[in-house]
Amino acid sequence: MELDKMDENDWKYHGEGNKSLVVSHVQFSRVLRLLKYPAEDSENPPQTAEQAFRQIQNIVDFSSNVMSSLLGEKFIHSGEVVKLPLEFVRQLSIKVQHQRPAWRCDKVMDIYSGCALCLPNLTSPALHQPTHTPPLCIEIKPKCGFLPSSKHVSKDIKTKVCRFCMHQHYKVANGKWKRRSLYCPLDLFSGNRQRMHFAIRHLIEEPQNNFKIFKGGQCIYSSKEGSDDSLDLNSLLHHLRPYFMYGNNRINSHMTGKAVLNDFIQVLVNALLSGGGGDGGVVMDRQGEGRSFCEASHFNRERIRHGSQGLPSDSVLFRILQTQMLDTLDIEGLHPLYRRVEQHLQDFPKERTRLQIDGPYNEAFLEKLQKCPTEDDGSVEYAVAKVHQYRVAMTAKDCSIMVALVPSTEEEEDDEGLPSQRRHRDFLSSRPPAFSYSVSILDLDPKPFDSIPRQLRLDQRIVSCYLRTGGSLPKGSLPPLPGGIFAAAEREDCTLLFHPV
């Protein structure tokens, strides 16, 4: 990629979050992630080019030096900061503007600094051969996978109902979503295949911001915020069927919609439980039965017939969960420590650098949070270490998992072209095609130090909303889809039976 010969026509809108906008190259497996500002700052950027460069470099350092060590290098792509021609960035901003969702346009793309983060395009992996079937890529935001047990938790409901399930009620009550998702992160993180299958099924039925499917780099399945548009099951099945309709060495063109979805989920569960190299032992659930089940989950515990509660120790979910559990105090126990640090910084402003409040995110930062004493000795060092731990845990609670599925033909099965840690076989029973799959973790930005008071206020609002409604939804919200798309798939299966021969 020659930075001095950048052409905006080589790039297309890919997506965006709260703080950045992403464009992807039309030919190469690359994306650029550019910062965003509030629209009112469009004429007067809130930071200099040097500050923008440092902000993006901090994201790279945090990912490569801190999160990579905790989550495993094999899952992380930290990328690099690049300086782009300003005219290219301006033209790119004009080109993508009409493709942006209206509700995201309260912010504008940074066209002043010329800084961007360059990353591999994980929705269109480089291991894909362009002549073959395009790869599928599934993006999952798993959210927090455990219930807090801190003595600082003031409301008992937080130890019984997970944050995600309570937050669903709050989001529906505030009109962010029309209906709640029945997905529960504790089911996904359980390591039990039945519960994981149940969790992914509900992610498919109500994706919200937590589930997307890409085919050949194009998003083919997702939800739009605030929309009650029904998801197009037939379109999804149309895309998935060619990947799963082979059985016993013959094409099974009448494979039912439900079977296609079940096979798809099975492959996804296998990828999430895979280690990415080496044989990891299964770590039994050490949280205790109470902390591994959420009372709001619709999964019937009596359905568990077999299988352990626990995750392989080298799986992506295990590494994420362990990092999330650095939040040992809950926001309620952490906030007084934040106030201790805040007071110290008011008295001694120059200490901000020594305590690495804004980075640099290097080995010394990692050591601070890894060597934190277990007991509070009243020091500012203890408080800072716990705040750093909490910020890292929050990043792990908000990350995305990308699972790329590349169909393999029989001729490819002995191909040595893929790095061993990236290559895993998945034979659906005895059925070809097999998939090579790679698992990656995205969205590993450091959480700002000063976001902690806001986190406390949000936590209080979510819990009080749930307690006030008794876990019931407000009038006017749409009920969860009865049977969801799986019921629709079964209805579609019935129509298949009556097609004239």
* Residue 239, both tokens: 């895309």
- CA-nearest of 128, 170, 179, 102 to 409 is 128
What is the C-alpha radius of gyration for the chain, rounded to an integer number of angstroms?
Answer: 23
Residues with Cβ < 8 Å from 80, sequence gap 6 or more? 60, 117, 118
pLDDT of residue 477: 64
- 3 state SS of 138: strand
pLDDT of residue 415: 45
- The structure's pTM equals 0.88
Inter-CA distances, 348 with 57, 341, 342, 467, Å: 27, 10, 10, 41
- The backbone torsions φ and ψ at residue 50, rounded to the nearest 5 degrees and listed phi first, read -65, -40
CATH architecture of 3-120: 2-Layer Sandwich (3.30)
- CA-nearest of 329, 326, 350, 337 to 380 is 337
Question: Domain segments of the chain: what residues?
Answer: 3-120, 136-314+399-410+421-490
pLDDT of residue 288: 43
pLDDT tens sequence for the chain (501 residues): 676 678 999 999 998 888 999 999 998 889 999 999 998 877 788 889 999 999 999 999 999 999 999 999 999 999 999 999 999 999 999 999 999 988 889 999 999 999 999 999 999 876 556 556 889 999 999 999 999 999 999 999 999 999 999 999 999 999 888 889 999 999 999 999 999 999 999 999 999 989 999 998 889 999 876 555 566 778 899 999 988 876 444 455 667 888 899 999 999 999 999 875 433 444 444 444 446 899 999 998 777 765 556 899 999 999 999 999 999 999 999 999 999 999 999 999 999 999 999 999 999 999 999 999 889 999 999 999 999 999 999 999 999 999 999 887 654 444 444 443 344 444 444 443 578 889 999 999 999 999 999 999 999 999 999 999 877 766 656 666 655 566 655 555 444 333 333
